[in-house]
Chains A and B, each alone.
Chain A
Amino acid sequence: MKAQPIIARAAFSARWLRQNLYLTSGAAILLVFLAAAVFGEQIAPYGANKQNLLSALEGPSSAHWLGTDPLGRDLFSRVVIGTRHTLSVAVMAVSLSCCLGVLLGLIAGFVRGPLATAVDAIVDVALTIPNMILAISIAAVMGAGLTGLIMAISISFTPPIARIVRGRVMEIREEDFIAAARTIGVRPWRILLRHVLPNAATVIVIEASLQAGQAVLTATALGFLGLGVQPPTPEWGTLLGYGREYLHVAPFMVVAPGLAISLLVLGFNLLGDGLRDWLDPRIGV
């Protein structure tokens, strides 16, 4: 009889895993990429920029699992070490866009008056500029490089977050507990930070995770266009742009970086969808 709760518990956790398959598989994929980002140099058999012109443009072999590029650099090593660049750009850009977006969303949704109207109008207009076009324009103005890339992505990703947070805050604002807090004289900023923000957190976390996937896509697309991190940094989008030039002689060059991007985006997408299923039961799939 004693064993029963344990079995029930095991069954429960197995069920939990199965029910949250998206969440767990997304987290698992991201953990692998996180490991690659942190221990890139230790995992990679060669250095990212270690050239060996004697073995240039070789196809996949036991010495070079994914082949080599025109300078004889090992593609597997470049992709593994490159994880750091793509992942950190996505994480930094989304952290920035979330901070800014949450701030704007809180103002637009909670405060009443001209400030909120102004913020709302700006967000409205910014949403009319297609995301990618805005990111390309900002990257063009800032110049190619890491700072420009992060600015481009974080600014172009801010309006959607602001819009979502605003919507959620407007819902929360009408709740009874906010009215109660007001009645007992809680200051507005305290209501905002202690009552509104925690209740909006779920929406923010879900959106941040989904945005991270989009940020990876945007960052690599900008890299591919030559507007992102510059060579010889082994950023995945830049690797694809480079590989495109050798498509006729070395088609294997574009396989691994693209696969890595897709898997990373898949990880973020699964995590976001999983979080939504898990945290926000109101939204069915």
Chain B
Amino acid sequence: MEAPTDGAGAGFGTRRDWALPALAGPRAVFRFLGLRLLRAVAIAFAVVTIIFFLFSLVPGDQAAYLAGPGSTQAEIDNLRQSLGLNDPLLVQYARHVTGLLRGDFGTSEVFRSDPLPFILDRIPATLALTGAAIGLTILIGIPAGLVSAMFHTRLPDLTISFSVVALLAVPNFWLGLLLLSLFSVQLGWLPSFGFSGPASLILPSLALAARLVALVARMTRGVTIDELGKDYVRTARSKGLGRTAILMRHVLRNVMIPTLTVIGLQTGYLLGGSVVIERLFAWPGIGDMMINAIGQRDYAVAQAVTILFVVAFLVINLVVELLYLLINPRMRTA
């Protein structure tokens, strides 16, 4: 039996561990979720390890850089000692891990303190951006796919399919630049940078969502075309139900599952893309913070944000798995 691939297998292959064991009851559901949670914790630990050793490869003397130009050798040595950079790597690693368990993300050299409050401060902006992008994906992607399927091989379908191919090739930051140029600089309708209310969310979330919208529209189209050819649709037609009613009452439910899969698999894109989009729109989220930190060689912050992104990835995938159970009763009781 092949080991299960899950959300972590982002974008590749199918999710094989959808199905619970046969005749699963609530207890089996809890057991299943408990196991998933344990696995997520183990993966998070492994990622923390990888990220720590990756950042330990940074060339140059970190202490000399942080002490700044014009500092004496004694000052540099002092700083190196106080940062614990003289300890063996494994000791530093152990300190890093035990620190994380206590919620200590190390010391940011730019903030001269624990970076956690500054990071927490910036999380809402990132959540708003990614949340809005997911909202747009569902609001635009699913209807577009449904329309495409209903007008299969006719003009609306061709238009939407063409847009999908185009959107998948366009870099999100260029789309953002074009939107910025048109709607803020030329027309002056929307704010061009920063997080200041719902209007400021429109452009960045559109730029971020574009790729996901295209993927969801394509997936929805394919699934809907398949579903429309099934027996239950014919049955519904023969009892006199209209096309729209069938689509809304029966097909949509089945379409939700692959949509959810796409969103779960593309979480990685969403988080990575948010870094670029936040940079473009000077969005005060953690992605922008990460790039700033890298520019200032503040690796404690860069590392903390990276870990946060991975944890977010794991959490979203757990939520997606939970939603599968909610949406599809077949997965609850096999």
Contacts and interface: CB of A to CB of B under 8 A. Distances in A.
Interface of A: 120-121, 124-133, 135-138, 140-141, 143, 160, 163-164, 167, 170, 213, 217, 220-221, 224-227, 240, 243-244, 247-248, 251, 254, 257-258, 261-263, 265-266, 269-270, 285
Contacts of B173: 221, 224, 240
Nearest to B293: A140
A132 B43 contact: no
A237 to B, nearest CB: 8
A285 B271 CA distance: 28
Chain A contact residues: helix, strand, loop or mixed: helix
B2 A170 contact: yes
A285 B161 CA distance: 12
Given A128-B313, A244-B177, A265 B169 contact: yes
B326 interface: no
Contacts of A128: 8, 43, 47, 310, 313-314
A124 B47 CA distance: 10
Interface string B162-180: 0001101111111001101
A133 B310 contact: yes
Given A136-B275, A137-B54, A137-B302, A251 B171 contact: no
Contact of A244 (B3, B47, B267, B280): B280
B18 to A, nearest CB: 17
Interface of B: 2-3, 5, 8-13, 43, 46-47, 50-51, 54-55, 57-59, 165-166, 168-174, 177-178, 180-181, 185-186, 222, 267-269, 271-273, 275-276, 279-280, 290-291, 294-295, 299, 302, 306, 309-310, 313-314
A126 B5 CA distance: 13
Contact of B290 (A124, A136, A160): A136
B12 A160 contact: yes
A227 B181 contact: no
A270 B162 CA distance: 12
A269 B165 CA distance: 8
Chain B interface, >50% SS class:
helix
Contacts of B168: 265, 269
Nearest to A273: B165
Contacts of A141: 54-55, 57-58
Most buried by B among A133, A136, A265: A133
Max chain B Cβ within 10 angstroms of own Cβ: one of A140, A143, A227, A251: A140
B9 A127 contact: yes
A153 B99 CA distance: 31
Given A128-B314, A130-B269, A138 B54 contact: yes
11 contacts: A127-B10, A136-B272, A163-B5, A163-B13, A164-B13, A213-B169, A220-B171, A224-B276, A225-B279, A254-B174, A261-B174
B145 to A, nearest CB: 14
B185 A131 contact: no
A126 B272 CA distance: 14
Contact of B177 (A120, A170, A258): A258
Nearest to A117: B3
A138 B272 CA distance: 13
A161 to B, nearest CB: 9
Contacts of A160: 10-12
Contacts of A170: 2
The 10 closest A-B CB pairs, nearest first, are A132-B272, A258-B174, A130-B268, A266-B169, A265-B169, A140-B294, A125-B46, A130-B272, A251-B181, A130-B271
A23 to B, nearest CB: 14
